[in-house]
Amino acid sequence: MAPSPSLLSILFFFFVLVSFFSPLSHAAKLPFHPEDLLPLLPRQVSWPILNSLHSPVDLLPSFVGAASSQNDTVEWKGACFYNNTAWMEFHNKSGSEFGGGTLHIEVSNAHSWTCMDLYVFATPYRVTWDYYFLSREHTFEFKEWEGRAEFEYVKNKGVSIFLMQAGMLGTLQALWDVFPYLQILDGSLEKWVSGAYAGHTAVCLKDSEGKLWVGESGHENEEGEDIIAVLPWDEWWDFELNKDDSNPHIALLPLHPDIRAKFNETAAWEYVQSMDGKPYGYHNMIFSWIDTIDGNYPPPLDSHLVASVMTVWNQLKPDYAANLWNEALNKRLGTEDLGLPDILVEIEERGSSFDELLTIPEQDDWLYTDGKSTSCVAFILEMYKEAGLFDPIASSIQVTEFTIKDAYMLNFFENNSSQLPKWCNDGDTVELPFCQIRGMYRMELPGYNSMEPYSHMNERCPSLPPKYLRPQKC
């Protein structure tokens, strides 16, 4: 714990830059595709080959539609079969109260003789899968619905169908290994979905004795838990120089003198010390970049896929899923302790939709079971908010809606490069508007220091690649 200071001299942002993924080209169309045999190979052989042929985005399933009745067919183009149709037939072969159903999938017009398509089928109550390599009608049986709730959900919303290229799996068993990889909700995801040129933030503070400290949400403690920590500068910097295997690129963003002059240092330190040792803000992490119905999902992401991944996690790791989003979804509904299936049913009964629920802005004063939930950037901006930097509109600013990109675009920072410390960008022939102190490559922060805060900032902003354009005052 840092000692209580009476003076805060200067505050900085730290940014770790990680490169974007670049999609690679695919093989040309042939009667026979070498990729088609990859699912038959051992995973130790197939996965290295797949990594060279595909981008990481290809690991994600694509939502193709939801089958709800014989009168409501779904049509799409697959990775293997170009003509596909699906519909749901309800029956009661089990003799149960609500019966079951048969999902019919007719596939044809394969692009090669050896390819196959693999599908994930999901409702709020189950996730399963099947694969097809013959051109004909296939069926998938749901022997019995999990009570009235699932029956009503499928009747009204249908069974969600997701396509995965069979070659992406290595073996069919690897399907269930794909979803745990999606647990890496780190800076790489942040940059992909928001267009940020940085993946992590921390803040630097001096106490009354001149000792430098680093406040950081996302510090790993001895138990392997990600927490909020206040560390001596020497300890933090030694780790970044000698122990951080990610080879980070780090820049310091000094606050503008006018901003420092209005900074309430006592309130800032009280906030930082009150959060020291608290858990990292997993609860609301994904909601900072989901502001719109369809303007925040880089392909192939969409709200259907988000719901599907949540459903998978809810079954495989229910405690983890509850920590990541169940509480936050309950907050948005004004409910308590509903699991994901009940949340989706509640949405349906209210005449709303899951994609609408995801867009409801996070509120900074929401308390979760382990306290306030702040990611790396929300922790710093909440400190700024407590220190008065968002006054007089602080009550209409929810910093948990800000991404890292939103943070470095705030016009809080020094705008005169001649006022930067002499050691800034030492050895670089290009004059940067901030201080880069580590990294092999020159950092860029497009839009840096350019945006004045406004009421309800960043609550309704689209963020679609490749340009990640945002309208004014969104």
d(CA 125, CA 146): 7
- Give 178's pLDDT tier (boundaries 50, 70, 90): very low
Q: Confirm if 367 and 388 have CB atoms less than 8 A apart.
A: no
C-alpha pair distances (Å), 288 with each of 225, 266, 296, 302, 393:
22, 28, 10, 15, 19
- Give 166's pLDDT tier (boundaries 50, 70, 90): low
Percentage with pLDDT > 70 across the chain: 81
Strands of 74-76's sheet in order across: 74-76, 81-91, 100-110, 137-142
Q: Confirm if 435 and 425 have CB atoms less than 8 A apart.
A: yes
Cα–Cα–Cα angle for 219, 301, 155, rounded to 5 degrees: 120
Q: Which residue has the higher pLDDT, 69 or 404?
A: 404
For the ranges 119-133, 236-250, 340-354, 402-416, the maximum mean pLDDT occurs at 402-416
Of 412, 411, 415, the residue nearest 431 (C-alpha): 415
pTM of the predicted model as reported, rounded to 2 decimal places:
0.72
* pLDDT score of 185: 45
Residue 17 has pLDDT above 80, yes or no: no
Q: pLDDT tens, 21-37?
A: 333 334 344 444 444 44
Task: Report strand pairing: 62-67 vs 159-165.
Answer: antiparallel
d(CA 435, CA 253): 6
Q: Confirm if 274 and 300 have CB atoms less than 8 A apart.
A: no
Of 95, 98, 84, 106, the residue nearest 155 (C-alpha): 98
d(CA 109, CA 457): 49
- Give 165's pLDDT tier (boundaries 50, 70, 90): low
* pLDDT score of 348: 83
Q: Confirm if 61 and 305 have CB atoms less than 8 A apart.
A: yes
Q: pLDDT tens, 206-248?
A: 888 889 999 999 898 888 788 999 999 999 999 999 988 888 9
Of 466, 68, 63, the residue nearest 302 (C-alpha): 63
Q: Confirm if 291 and 332 have CB atoms less than 8 A apart.
A: no
Q: Which two tokens stand for residue 392?
A: 């007089």
Q: With H, G, I as helix, E, B as strand and everything else as coil, classify residue 194.
A: helix
Q: pLDDT tens, 103-159?
A: 999 999 988 877 888 888 988 888 888 888 889 999 999 999 988 888 988 998 899
d(CA 183, CA 63): 19
Q: Confirm if 147 and 98 have CB atoms less than 8 A apart.
A: yes
Of 15, 9, 10, the residue nearest 377 (C-alpha): 15
**How many Cα neighbours within 13 Å face the side chain of 316?**
17
Q: Which two tokens stand for residue 20?
A: 């974007």
DSSP label at 401? G
Of 268, 375, 386, 369, the residue nearest 326 (C-alpha): 369
Residue 446 has pLDDT above 80, yes or no: yes
